[in-house]
Structure 1
């Protein structure tokens, strides 16, 4: 890909930057930053709050199976992503993969799906964080906290990509600590060690799985309808691909970060869900309280609700931090491709796409306003598209890998020459794509989630049509050239 002329990035008094990414973005993040950016994007309300919904619908064993399946799909998608990220180590890379391997219209649609997903998530996370802050500051309006959090996250992203990576690293440490605490303390309680709780009130091992109808209370359909919610809980792992253009030594750091991310997600998510499902009866969990609060309270942890309130706020802001980073890089990359206003390509002296960052923040605040002004119309549509978008992006990644590898082999390339190669081609991309389709079939069976299809499918169609009429001729001429 031809990149724009790099802008002057360094102040005269600063030492030279070791390496520069495409378009002038700095390669300043290492493997640990990539891992924590992915972990920060993944570990959010999907685990701390929505896991209760998954357990209530799928049952204890069904929830564990659902999250195991989600982790497996993440592994498949990350395997495809690893090969693509090293082949195209550019910022905002998802739509680059699709544009090069499938077609520019698919790349355009993928980019806007992902941008909208995170823009909506940013607004909803600000709202949720503001509501949780009212536990301690009941007299302060929610919108005040939303603006405070927006200013903090904007500042973190506007300073430098390395500062963003460092802030996300420490954000993620808090969340990971909470998950490890849940697994260790909850696991010990299941083994009979719970001196702070009342005797005889805590289940032993997996006896909670044996309650009437507790394994699969709603049959296999109950597991299937939670597929999208589980996949959405794992969304954010693909942020490694977004940050590829600002990573030191992509060929070494990207595969390392992906392996670490998959292993940690498997341990943290499946371990946490197993402990929660074994501790709390499936018919007593839902969205009204975090299952983490319930577990910590059951083992007698003092101030469990306040501790988890802080952790959940941190989780939401961390996910918003990663989301804002992703939105800005996606707009920058679209502009670099000529499919968005060129103003989004302007960089600060520190290599930050500030205009793209500002527009992304405005998009998040717009979804925040819509959640208050029109909760049953605009906001519902945006949230539905956001859930649909994650699976759509994963499908785009796996399809891009399939066509990329096939073209590579047809052009005389040798698999052994690849710096990183996804295993078992073409099984991995085909299986991952198929499982994503199954998750969309699952939501069609749930009246509360089917809105994702009603709004998501027309949105995708609108993106393709807009690209055809606005950029189609230019794209066709570019391919001929």
Structure 2
């Protein structure tokens, strides 16, 4: 027990506010934005702007519910704690293991993105299935090595990764605005102008079908945002840091998603953007700025590595917590001399090797990316719905805590039901496209595995209590 308490102390004290703020901001800029937005633009056109705003609002409501719950009891450190308390032990087990798989599928999607970006340096030619698998294995071992270091070094690496992404987005916006206001014309004769947003079929050029189809990868761009709340809850002053972190989410969405994509589609008409290429790289390439395109490609590549780094870190800590609660193998609860849950880390890395297999059997990186992101999206929606369910129980059974709260969810139960209806509707939307329907059909297998696993670990949990 002494060793475990040291682990908790190390995690909570090693990350400074400087790390937390940059990691939180950087978390808003991930693979879903850099790579996924290209396909979303091809599906929905300029209406992608409204898609990100709608999803952003719903995710913000989830985060406000998360924030109020975490502040209602400072012993809560994550949604696993309050879902167990407010719904039952099965909910904590379900959300913990599902959240672990969420990050595994994100890691697999990141592997697809890495291969896609590296093709830029391969003359645009696709790699063979064997080469793709080798790249995946090398990436996994590299990330695993980074995660075997101390928590403080992890925070420092993520700080610089996040800073690179933020600077890249700011530079892209600045360069894009310069192109627009100076009447920049690309080598293909395209004049940079805000009129591209409505001149090529209006804001909804692909109709309602395309608009709905755009939600799948757009939702994926927001996955992991709940880490902002749980990370802030680990700081010394959660009453101040948590509301600040949550309330800054809409501003980040407007700057890093809406404003950046407005610039991208103003410089390059939406129907000229290649869905197989990051639109951020495409902006500079289409404008004929080759050197900047290379730099941006390196930036988005580092962004994906950052996402994998955070994902492997998160999954190892999730397995460690589940093991400590008696809801996972005891082996995952052991720490290395550097106070890192190494066994949990090795297991997560091993599961990521499934991404290498996926690249071998599904050599089309965009198809592999779509399959992985859809499964991740489904699982994250389940996690977010558990958070809302926990809030509903909290609202009804502990009204005195809700009344005392200084950080209430706007709209209370009405907002909860709006969010629930929206995300259930999104599950239906995933059934409309053939590629996302594949992942939707596979997802029940995970819930069956969870059900079997729960009865396997349940006796251990009972005997512990």
Query: Would you say 1:400 and 2:390 are equivalent positions?
Result: yes
Residues 1:276 and 1:383: Cα distance change in structure 2 (over 3 Å):
closer
Matches within 5 A, 1:192-341: 192-194=182-184, 197=186, 201-211=190-200, 213-243=201-231, 246-341=234-329
The size of the alignment, in residue pairs, is 458
Residues 1:438 and 1:237: Cα distance change in structure 2 (over 3 Å):
same
Alignment partner for residue 96 of structure 2, among 111, 130, 138?
A: 111
- Deviation track 1:29-72 (CA, whole Å, cap 9, x = no partner) reads 24443343344444222111221221221121x11110111221
User: Which residue does 1:101 correspond to in 2?
Assistant: 86
**TM-score calculated relative to the size of structure 1:** 0.84
**TM-score calculated relative to the size of structure 2:** 0.87
Indicate if the aligned counterparts of 1:344 and 1:353 stay in contact, CA closer than 8 A.
yes
User: Which residue does 1:45 correspond to in 2?
Assistant: 31
Query: Would you say 1:451 and 2:438 are equivalent positions?
Result: yes
For residues 77 and 151 of structure 1, the distance between their equivalents in structure 2, rounded to whole angstroms, comes to 34
State the SS of the aligned residue for 1:340.
coil
Mean alpha-carbon deviation: is it higher for 134-143 or for 280-289?
134-143
- Deviation track 1:339-395 (CA, whole Å, cap 9, x = no partner) reads 101222222344322221221112112332343257799998765422311222121
State the SS of the aligned residue for 1:159.
coil
Point out the structure with the larger helix share. 2
Gapped regions of structure 1 (runs ≥ 5) = 10-19
Indicate if the aligned counterparts of 1:92 and 1:329 stay in contact, CA closer than 8 A.
no
Indicate if the aligned counterparts of 1:30 and 1:248 stay in contact, CA closer than 8 A.
no
For residues 30 and 255 of structure 1, the distance between their equivalents in structure 2, rounded to whole angstroms, comes to 17
Residues 1:242 and 1:146: Cα distance change in structure 2 (over 3 Å):
farther
Residues 1:98 and 1:255: Cα distance change in structure 2 (over 3 Å):
same
User: Which residue does 2:176 correspond to in 1?
Assistant: 186
Residues 1:380 and 1:305: Cα distance change in structure 2 (over 3 Å):
closer
Query: Would you say 1:356 and 2:356 are equivalent positions?
Result: no
For residues 215 and 95 of structure 1, the distance between their equivalents in structure 2, rounded to whole angstroms, comes to 40
For residues 128 and 92 of structure 1, the distance between their equivalents in structure 2, rounded to whole angstroms, comes to 32
Query: Would you say 1:171 and 2:156 are equivalent positions?
Result: no
User: Which residue does 1:13 correspond to in 2?
Assistant: none
User: Which residue does 1:158 correspond to in 2?
Assistant: 148
- Deviation track 1:158-188 (CA, whole Å, cap 9, x = no partner) reads 2222221221111111112221122222123
Residues 1:249 and 1:351: Cα distance change in structure 2 (over 3 Å):
farther
TM-fit CA distance, 1:313: 0.7
TM-fit CA distance, 1:96: 2.5
For the aligned residues, what is the CA RMSD?
A: 3.3
Query: Would you say 1:125 and 2:104 are equivalent positions?
Result: no
State the SS of the aligned residue for 1:68.
helix
Gapped regions of structure 2 (runs ≥ 5) = none
For residues 133 and 440 of structure 2, the distance between their equivalents in structure 1, rounded to whole angstroms, comes to 31
Residues 1:286 and 1:105: Cα distance change in structure 2 (over 3 Å):
farther
Indicate if the aligned counterparts of 2:196 and 2:265 stay in contact, CA closer than 8 A.
no
Mean alpha-carbon deviation: is it higher for 290-299 or for 178-187?
290-299
User: Which residue does 2:62 correspond to in 1?
Assistant: 77
